[in-house]
Chain A
Amino acid sequence: QVQLVESGGGVVQPGRSLRLSCAVSGFTFRSYAMHWVRQAPGKGLEWVAVISYDGSNKNHADPVKGRFTISRDNSKNTLYLEMNSLRTEDTAVYYCARDRHTPPDGVMDVWGKGTTVTVSS
């Protein structure tokens, strides 16, 4: 069945880096745009970034622009989020999600269970 599994979360000091991964199975990964969405403790959902099906187009939310980079390896069915210069306000559960339609229509129809990132000294 369709499955998204995030990994790579952990506890990291402010200013350090972390790379999250999202392993995909059960559908043709290379055909779909993908998103990262995060949720700080006790807060709502916050969209982080999107990447097109072939990796040629990317867009990042303003709070992470210039620090985070979304990427993908279609040969490995894996989505990534490279996070640099981490701040305490980046502490959150990070979810990967599939865009429902090709071409993308902005609907996130499949989600992973999330991986927790804690930024603390």
Chain B
Amino acid sequence: SYVLTQPPSVSVAPGKTARITCGGNNVGSKSVHWYQQKPGQAPVLVIYHDSDRASGIPERFSGSNSGNTATLTISRVEAGDEADYSCQVWDGSSDHRVFGTGTKVTVL
């Protein structure tokens, strides 16, 4: 089955840039989506189709996807961005949806 690997944690100072990676075999050929989840809350769609921002998501959030790595970039990080972030794809070979292992973003 298809596997998406994310770093367990990323730490960033306020105002700086956070980059969260999502690695998978030739993930650049798939469409990657990103979700934000704060403690005790349901996930929220942030980025879809690699780089499209979901409704209400600030321009500080952007995405890219190429080769074996997709990346979610958060610019000018704020305290409110502290959350878990998960990538997700649709694996066409199995017709299954696959989530990444998740990354906890900590704002220092």
Contact = CB atoms under 8 A, between A and B. Distances in A.
A97 B86 CA distance: 15
Interface string B57-79: 00000000000000000000000
A3 to B, nearest CB: 12
Which secondary structure dominates where chain B touches chain A?
strand
Given A35-B97, A62-B1, A107-B33, A95 B102 contact: no
Given A107-B45, A108-B45, A111-B44, A59 B35 contact: no
A19 to B, nearest CB: 21
Nearest to A45: B99
A61 B90 CA distance: 12
Contact of A50 (B33, B97, B98): B97
A9 interface: no
Contacts, number: 63
Size range of the chain B interface in the assembly: 20 to 34
B100 A44 contact: yes
B86 A45 contact: yes
Contact of B89 (A50, A95, A97, A106): A106
B95 A45 contact: no
Size range of the chain A interface in the assembly: 20 to 34
A61 B98 CA distance: 9
Interface in A57-91: 59, 61-62
A45 B1 contact: no
Interface string A80-121: 000000000000000101001000011111011110000000
Contacts of B31: 105-106
A48 to B, nearest CB: 9
A27 interface: no
B38 to A, nearest CB: 12
A45 B84 CA distance: 10
Interface in B8-45: 31, 33, 35, 37, 41-45
Contacts of B84: 44
Interface of B: 1, 31, 33, 35, 37, 41-45, 48-49, 54, 84, 86, 88-90, 95-102
